[in-house]
């Protein structure tokens, strides 16, 4: 191209596909603080069941991030069979703490850790989302094989589903999960995680973990300028 070429002589820039821009917003947002772990106290309801034994339990807790930067749960109420809590809830939370001990960069759902394949647009309760198949590049703790749905407007991950590809837990044999994040005015306010957990001693059970958080004043989505910079890379 001649150095003296006029701007009008330059070819028009190719439009960025909508799913690519949403993906760029997602990448920009995950490098910010996780609103469900680092924005202050979060109310958590954990419901556990073992259908084969017809047993259930329910916990209401407040989760804080302690000085060690690990999650600390302060139980406010406990109902049901305590044996279910010990057999299902305790091993799952122990696994989550093991993941928290890993470097954050090693477990984020990013191109550095995963291969992405675009599947298409999917309907949700709000704006449509873009679905991607995610496959870990390496079999490591804290990574899942499944799907990621990204909100078409904000770039927030509104659904993660799949199974953990590896666990060093001596108690847990397999974990499958579906995590939904509900948005209000573009802000993540409620996150519900459905977990199917198979332990070596107690068999199969199910957890439903619901997290509630207030929206901070001035909180917003990643800027289009920031997302556009990522999309251009």
* DSSP state string for 15-71: PPPHHHHHHHHHHHHHTS--TTTSSS-EEEEEEEEETTTTEEEEEEEEEEE-TTSSE
The 10s digit of each residue's pLDDT in 80-131 is 999 999 999 999 999 988 888 899 899 999 999 999 999 999 998 888 999 9
Question: What pLDDT band is residue 8 in, cutting at 50, 70 and 90?
Answer: low
Q: Dihedral of the CA atoms 17, 18, 24, 29 (nearest 10)?
A: 180
Put simply, whether the predicted model's pTM sits higher than 0.85 gets the answer: no
Could you give the percent of the chain with pLDDT greater than 70? 81
User: Which tops the pLDDT comparison, 186 or 219?
Assistant: 186
Report the range of poorest mean pLDDT among 1-10, 44-53, 87-96, 128-137.
Answer: 1-10
Q: According to the model, what pLDDT value does residue 170 have? A: 85
Helices (H), 72-156: 82-84, 90-100
The 10s digit of each residue's pLDDT in 141-200 is 999 999 999 999 999 999 999 999 987 788 899 999 999 999 888 788 899 999 999 998
User: Which tops the pLDDT comparison, 90 or 226?
Assistant: 90
- Kindly give, in sequence order, each residue whose CB lies less than 8 Å from that of residue 17, ignoring residues fewer than 6 positions away: none
Mean pLDDT, rounded, of the chain = 84
Question: What pLDDT band is residue 39 in, cutting at 50, 70 and 90?
Answer: low
Report the range of poorest mean pLDDT among 33-37, 40-44, 75-79, 88-92.
Answer: 33-37
The answer to whether 202 and 91 are in contact (CB under 8 A) is: no
The answer to whether 119 and 71 are in contact (CB under 8 A) is: no
Report the range of poorest mean pLDDT among 35-39, 72-76, 140-144.
Answer: 35-39
Nearest-5° Cα angle at 108, 204 to 224:
130
């Amino acid at each position: 191209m001649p150095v003296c070429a006029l701007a009008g002589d330059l070819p028009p820039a190719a439009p960025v596909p909508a799913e690519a821009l949403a993906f760029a917003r997602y990448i920009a947002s995950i490098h910010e603080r996780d609103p469900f772990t680092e924005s202050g106290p979060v109310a958590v309801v954990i419901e556990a069941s073992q259908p084969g034994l017809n047993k259930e339990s329910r916990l209401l807790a407040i989760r804080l991030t302690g000085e060690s930067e690990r999650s600390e749960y302060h139980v406010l109420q406990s109902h049901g069979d305590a044996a279910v809590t010990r057999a299902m809830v305790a091993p799952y939370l122990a696994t989550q703490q093991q993941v928290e001990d890993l470097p954050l960069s090693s477990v984020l759902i990013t191109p550095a850790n995963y291969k992405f394949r675009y599947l298409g647009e999917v309907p949700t309760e709000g704006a449509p989302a873009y679905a991607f198949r995610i496959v870990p590049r390496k079999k490591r703790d804290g990574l899942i094989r499944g799907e990621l749905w990204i909100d078409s407007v904000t770039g927030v991950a509104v659904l993660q589903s799949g199974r953990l590809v590896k666990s060093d837990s001596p108690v847990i044999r397999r974990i499958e999960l579906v995590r939904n994040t509900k948005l209000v005015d573009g802000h993540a306010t409620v996150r519900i995680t459905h977990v199917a957990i198979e332990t070596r001693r107690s068999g199969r059970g199910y957890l439903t973990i619901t997290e509630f958080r207030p929206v901070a004043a001035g909180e917003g989505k990643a800027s289009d300028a920031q997302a556009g910079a990522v999309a251009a890379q």
